[in-house]
Amino acid sequence: MNAELTATENQIKDYRLKLGDKIRIVREQRGYSQEQLAELMNINRSTISKIENGKFSITVDYLVRFSIFLDYEFKVVEK
């Protein structure tokens, strides 16, 4: 049942979950419910829920939207 994942696939999965957690944490820090943030961002509430729970991989466009409305910064930096 459980397909083996490559190291790369594991890193991708891990990052997806960590990003969802991060978004949830920041949203709560800002005092928004999912519904409030959804309305503010003009996207669907269920989409926010799915993103926070890592149900799919969001596009960078959405990442930027979160960064705008949560006042966060997403950066590409040297290791």
Partner DNA sequence: AATTTATAGCGTTGCCCCCGCTGTTTAATT
Partner DNA sequence: AATTAAACAGCGGGGGCAACGCTATAAATT
Q: Which residues bind DNA (CB under 7 A)?
A: 28, 33-36, 43-47, 49-53, 55-59, 61-62
Cα separation, 73 vs 8, whole angstroms: 25
**Least spacing, CB of residue 78 vs DNA, in Å:** 21
**Which helix (H) or strand (E) element contains residue 79?**
none
Binding a copy of itself (rule: CB under 8 A), the pick from 5, 11, 44, 46 is: 11
Q: What crossing angle do the helices spanning 60-69 and 34-41 adopt, rounded to 10°?
A: 110
Rule CB under 8 A: which residues touch a copy of itself? 8, 11-12, 15-16, 19, 22, 57-65, 67-68, 71-79
